[in-house]
Amino acid sequence: MIKKLPFTCPSCSGLLQVNSLGCERCETAVSGKFDLPPLAKLSSEDQQFAIDFIRSSGSLKEMAQKLGLSYPTVRNMLDDLIQKINKNE
Amino acid sequence: MSSTATPKPSLYRSLFNPFLHIAGGTALLVGWTAMLLASIVSYFSKAHFDGAIDIHFGAGGKYGIFLMEQFIAWTSVTAVFYIIGIAFSKSKIRLIDVAGTLAMARLTTLPAALIGFLPVYPVKLDDPMLALTIIITLIPGIWMIALMYNSFVVSTNIRGAKAIAWFIAGLLTAELLSKVLLQYLIPLV
């Protein structure tokens, strides 16, 4: 089972922060308040879109072909993603 | 669309928003072919698309008039919606998407032109078939407006209330522009 990284609070829907990090080898624990990186704050669908976009060398035409969508549809999806990243920062 | 979830094809999308899957040069080619065919059909059925969203039946004329009406209507909406897109969209829009999807929206003029063959035309005001005739004529008209709206939203990425307001304003402007162009260009045919 792939566990999804939660990025929003199940109680108030606010953005979650990382409170502790642990070393699997020596079990050292680091605690503090760390912000999630911008891409980790996105939904798994949005993250997949960003990965596919990078794998397509940033070509919207290639993305459109892969997804079976039109060029403006993919461009609009990318613009939505940019908006979400800007909002989360 | 607020998520990057890939939209799945459905009958509704195929009929009212095919632009999620087809745009640009392909849509332009499909649209121009449909417009050309519709102009031939309308020449014989005497259906005039004399305005951005107009359809009138009854008067004959040279084939060039029917062809020019199609292209003037399409050019008017393309010019107006592209300017609106450039001015108000936050996305980098392309003329080929606006032109292509709006041409494809005119696919509906093909079934609309066929209506002219119905024996109910020309309609008289006291004809009991008048209501039915109006409904039959409105169906492709409403379908075309729905397609044009979705074409505008997809190609310019203007959405929500802003999209509705600009679409209505754009359509009225395009209607006016098409009437002016028709007045000056039709006598040249």
DSSP A68: T
Q: Is the pLDDT of residue B60 over 50?
A: yes
What pLDDT score does B121 carry?
62
Please state at what angle helix A71-88 crosses helix B95-105, rounded to 10 degrees: 130
pLDDT tens for residues B130-187? Answer: 777 788 888 999 999 999 999 999 999 999 999 999 999 999 999 999 999 999 998 8
What pLDDT score does B9 carry?
67
CA distance B86 to B128: 48
Tell me which of A45, A47, A70 to substitute to probe the interface with B (most B C-beta atoms closer than 10 Å): A70
Binding-site residues on chain B for chain A (CB distance < 8 A): 1-7, 9, 19-24, 27, 90-94, 97, 101, 154-155, 157
Alpha-carbon distance A17 to nearest alpha carbon in chain B (angstroms): 23
User: Percent of chain B beyond pLDDT 70?
Assistant: 93
pLDDT tens for residues B5-21? Answer: 677 668 888 899 999 99
User: Percent of chain B beyond pLDDT 90?
Assistant: 74
Domains annotated for chain A, with CATH where assigned, are: 38-88 (1.10.10)
Cβ distance B100 to B28 under 8 Å? yes
Long-range contacts of B12-20 (CB under 8 A, 24+ apart): B15/B143, B16/B143, B16/B146, B16/B147, B16/B150, B17/B147, B17/B150, B17/B154, B18/B104, B18/B147, B19/A70, B19/A72, B19/A73, B19/B101, B19/B104, B19/B150, B19/B151, B19/B154, B19/B155, B20/A69, B20/A70, B20/A73, B20/B154
Measured between beta carbons, the chain B residues lying within 8 angstroms of A76 are 1, 91, 154, 157
What pLDDT score does B3 carry?
52
pLDDT tens for residues A11-46? Answer: 998 888 899 999 999 999 999 998 888 888 888 899
What pLDDT score does B27 carry?
98
Q: Is the dihedral of CA B91, B30, B53, B49 positive or negative?
A: positive
B93 contacts A80? CB cut-off 8 A: no
What pLDDT score does B142 carry?
94
Cβ distance B93 to B157 under 8 Å? yes
Read off the pLDDT of each residue in B67-89 and give the average, rounded to a whole number. Answer: 97
Cβ distance B98 to B156 under 8 Å? yes
Per-residue CA distances from A60 to A68, A71, B137, B158 (Å): 12, 6, 39, 19
Q: Is the pLDDT of residue B122 over 70?
A: no
Q: Is the pLDDT of residue A49 over 60?
A: yes
pLDDT category at B28 given cuts 50, 70, 90 is very high
Measured between beta carbons, the chain B residues lying within 8 angstroms of A75 are 91-92, 157
> Domain spans of chain B?
21-188
Tell me which of B4, B14, B89, B94 to substitute to probe the interface with A (most A C-beta atoms closer than 10 Å): B4
- Of A43, A71, A81, nearest to B23 by CB-CB distance is A71
A81 contacts B1? CB cut-off 8 A: no
Q: What are phi and psi of B129, to 5 degrees?
A: -85, 0
What pLDDT score does B148 carry?
98
Measured between beta carbons, the chain B residues lying within 8 angstroms of A68 are 6, 9, 21
Q: What's the mean pLDDT when you consider all of chain A?
A: 91
Cβ distance A53 to A63 under 8 Å? yes
**Four-point Cα dihedral B53, B58, B60, B64, nearest 10:** 10
What pLDDT score does B137 carry?
84
